[in-house]
């Protein structure tokens, strides 16, 4: 049985963590498999949007506790780096990645969701960073992504208390962008993916990069970077096609088939 199942249809890839008996824990094998999947999808010209979800009751219920219990300090450092590497690959994918959070997203699972571009949660989903209750801290970039998503105060509260929150609270604080009934989760994620597909492939990739890099710059530098990226897009020919299609009242060449 593969730890990760991939289904492709109409330029959308649905990536499902497939170890429900163990709540899709982020083991070494799971991280290795996710890395391979996202590297393949990055280079797959037939896929333009990715949906990441879980099977069973969990999106991912955290990193492998049994594995971590046997680590020394150097091994723990490398383990954290490994998780960060894989999640950075997800974050830096040139193709938009939607997290469809179907259930428990705890510890590393919540960190994985935060590495995605957009997050839709089932109304039954549960989020939390319980690491301090195990004498740990989030190690897969959770301390950094969480405060960028929800602000300093809520990041402090969730990390220092290990509190679990439901999908509605996650929506209220800005951790997820939408909450839907569980049986509508994948359908809604696919609807959103189809909206994204209306955009030019190069424009989507560049927009992601400018947003990610720009948030680490001061405002003037970020605006300069945006203007440069705006101009360089014209070297791809994609803006010319999009603008011409608009003036001719037709769909641009990249628009998905109905």
- Pick the catalytic residue: 131, 163, 172, 226? 131
DSSP secondary structure letters along 97-153: EEEEE-SEEETHHHHHHHHSSEEEEETT-EEE--GGGGT----SSHHHHHHHHH-HH
**Quick count: other Cβ atoms within 10 Å of Cβ 75?**
12
Mark whether 46 is an active-site residue. Answer: no
Between CA 94 and CA 194 the distance in angstroms is 16
Between CA 98 and CA 18 the distance in angstroms is 17
- Pick the catalytic residue: 9, 21, 46, 111? 111
Pairing of strands 126-128, 104-106: parallel
Mark whether 111 is an active-site residue. Answer: yes
Q: Could you list the active site residues?
A: 111, 131
């Amino acid at each position: 049985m593969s730890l990760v199942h991939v289904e492709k249809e109409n330029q959308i890839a649905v990536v499902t963590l497939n170890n429900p008996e163990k709540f899709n824990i982020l083991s070494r094998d799971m991280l290795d498999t996710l890395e391979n999947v996202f590297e393949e999808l990055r280079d797959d010209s037939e896929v333009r949007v990715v949906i990441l979800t879980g099977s069973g009751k969990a999106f991912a219920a955290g990193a492998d506790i049994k594995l971590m219990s046997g680590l020394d300090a150097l091994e723990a450092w490398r383990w954290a780096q490994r998780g960060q590497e894989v999640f950075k690959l997800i974050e830096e994918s040139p193709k938009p990645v939607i997290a469809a959070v179907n259930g428990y997203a705890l510890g590393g699972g919540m960190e994985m969701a935060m590495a995605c571009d957009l997050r839709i949660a089932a109304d039954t989903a549960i989020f939390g960073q319980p690491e301090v209750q195990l004498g740990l801290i989030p190690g897969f970039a959770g301390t950094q992504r969480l405060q960028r998503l929800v602000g300093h105060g809520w990041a402090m509260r969730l990390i220092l208390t290990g509190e679990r929150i439901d999908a509605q609270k996650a929506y209220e604080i800005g951790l997820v962008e939408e909450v839907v009934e569980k049986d509508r989760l994948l359908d809604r994620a696919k609807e959103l993916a189809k909206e994204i597909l209306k955009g030019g492939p190069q424009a989507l990739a560049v927009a992601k990069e400018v947003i990610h890099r720009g948030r680490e710059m001061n405002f003037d530098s970020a605006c300069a970077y945006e203007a440069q990226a705006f101009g360089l897009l014209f070297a791809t020919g994609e803006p010319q096609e999009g603008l011409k299609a608009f003036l001719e009242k037709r769909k641009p060449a990249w628009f998905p088939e109905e």
